[in-house]
Chains A and B, each alone.
Chain A
Amino acid sequence: DGGITQSPKYLFRKEGQNVTLSCEQNLNHDAMYWYRQDPGQGLRLIYYSQIVNDFQKGDIAEGYSVSREKKESFPLTVTSAQKNPTAFYLCAVSVQGFNQPQHFGDGTRLSIL
């Protein structure tokens, strides 16, 4: 959806390396989310933030970290503790919370070298 920018499109990680995925939005929405999608599967929630300087763990937060220092930005770091990071990562936003429509960025594909 327009207004949500994820970068990079493709990312490769070496063993033991942390990598950071960017998600920026210019829609002035309060809530932002990170999802992971594995091949042939639905989406699983990693982290979400409903307001600046606050974020909550989702269902699969282990091995990931986030920050929300600005309303428009919600970066996701995949740490070396995440043993199986190869997946498609999607960032989403909504006006406020889970009861409102979510709109997604184009995603980042992360692979292990």
Chain B
Amino acid sequence: GIQVEQSPPDLILQEGANSTLRCNFSDSVNNLQWFHQNPWGQLINLFYIPSGTKQNGRLSATTVATERYSLLYISSSQTTDSGVYFCAVPYGNNRLAFGKGNQVVVIP
């Protein structure tokens, strides 16, 4: 199956700092999703981004499908950004492969 690797695995940020999370995948894909799981376990779909760049408030994502990676940018981080960020890509016709996540802690 397809391999999905996320880096860095853990990140501690001072409130107000910017950060970049990376997702590499081992095979061609036609879309990619980024999710945020908050400390209570709720998983929110942040971006559905096959290619190019999308922005949503302080978050933006860029996928370069030809080079098999995607980046998630967090600007002016807030404590509510804490949690785990997952990327996921489809493979076969009936699977979504998730990375192991980026654990982010934003300290005030």
Interface residues of A (CB under 8 A from B): 1, 41-43, 45, 48, 56, 58-59, 88, 90, 97-104, 106-107, 109
Some 20 contacts from A to B, beta carbons below 8 A apart, are: A1-B44, A42-B86, A45-B95, A48-B94, A56-B94, A58-B95, A59-B95, A97-B93, A98-B94, A98-B96, A99-B30, A99-B31, A101-B48, A102-B33, A102-B45, A103-B45, A104-B35, A104-B44, A106-B42, A107-B43
Chain B facing A: main interface SS:
strand
8 Å CB contact of B45 from A45, A56, A88, A104:
A104
Interface residues on B, range: 20 to 34
Known: A42-B98, A43-B86, A99-B30. A90 touches B43 (CB 8 A): yes
> Shortest beta-carbon distance, A68 to chain B, in Å?
15
What is the 8 Å Cβ interface bit string for chain B, positions 78-108, against chain A (1 contact, 0 not)? 0000000010101001111011110000000
| Pair A1/B45 contact, Cβ less than 8 Å | yes
| Pair B101/A98 contact, Cβ less than 8 Å | no
Q: Which residues in A have their C-beta under 8 angstroms from that of B90?
A: 98-99
Known: A106-B42, A107-B42. A41 touches B94 (CB 8 A): no
